[in-house]
Amino acid sequence: MRERQYIVDDLTKDDTWRMFNILAEFVEGFDVLPEVYPAVTIFGSARSHPNSVNYKTTQTVARLLVENGFNVISGGGPGVMEAANKGAAEAGGKSIGLHIHLPKEQKPNKYANLRLDFKYFFIRKVMFVKYAVAYIIMPGGFGTLDELFEALTLIQTKRIKSFPVLLIDSRYWQGLIDWIKGTLIKEKAISESDLDIMTVVDTAEEAVRIIQRRVIV
């Protein structure tokens, strides 16, 4: 028997009532999230341990964002998401967790003081980008890369207004940057100027300074 987690397959069935569930998730997000402006969305690995450098750096960047007038949005789960919500909540800011229901890994963390639950990834993605004035990308896996390239594509194609997309930890991201330069740009799959959409930094302080400089709220 096929597992019920294959949401996209479910959408191909003739049970059109499912569209109302999708609409309900959109409506809840649109009703609740305008109050979090201005917010910065933070992505990164769900597998980062609380004692790891990535977790501690994320907690610091979230705290600094709140201290400088921004709220923080994360995926609401463990790892980097938890660190983002923890740093924001402990600094007294709005700590938003956009939780997704998954069969593994994704359990809501206790630090989000505003939480929304989603069944559908694509709706959650809309909420991440619609209510953010910047993205911070910590080291992460497929999900983190997905969110990164989603933002880069939307900015490149002018589907959304350009905002800072900051990758923290040059050691982690350098291989990706080298591949983009050596393959995508070399093969003319993208323009050289497309690389300017994102910025690689090494510290939480540097990331927050760039956001302060580039974001007008």
Question: Each residue of 154-185: pLDDT tens digit?
Answer: 999 999 999 999 999 999 999 999 999 999 99
Name the band, by pLDDT with cuts 50, 70 and 90, for residue 10: low
**Domains in the chain, CATH or no CATH each:** 19-26+35-214 (3.40.50.450)
Q: What is the pLDDT of residue 15?
A: 65
Contact predicate 45/141, CB 8 Å = yes
Helical segments of the chain, H only:
7-11, 18-32, 53-67, 80-90, 121-130, 142-156, 170-179, 204-214
| Average pLDDT of the residues of the chain | 92
Question: Each residue of 88-128: pLDDT tens digit?
Answer: 999 999 999 999 877 665 688 999 999 999 999 999 999 99
Separation CA 215–CA 210 (nearest Å): 8
* Region of 38 on the Ramachandran plot (φ > 0 left; ψ -120 to 50 alpha; else beta): beta
Would the CA dihedral through 101, 97, 204, 209 be positive or negative? positive
What residue type is 82 in one-letter code? E
Residue 70 pLDDT exceeds 80 = yes
Q: What is the pLDDT of residue 2?
A: 45
> Comparing C-alpha atoms, which of 122, 84, 94 is closest to residue 38?
94
Say which residue, 66 or 2, is predicted with more confidence. Answer: 66
Name the band, by pLDDT with cuts 50, 70 and 90, for residue 1: very low
Give 206's contacts (C-beta < 8 A, 6+ positions apart): none
Give this prediction's pTM: 0.89
Contact predicate 197/159, CB 8 Å = no
Q: What is the pLDDT of residue 114?
A: 96
Separation CA 43–CA 62 (nearest Å): 11
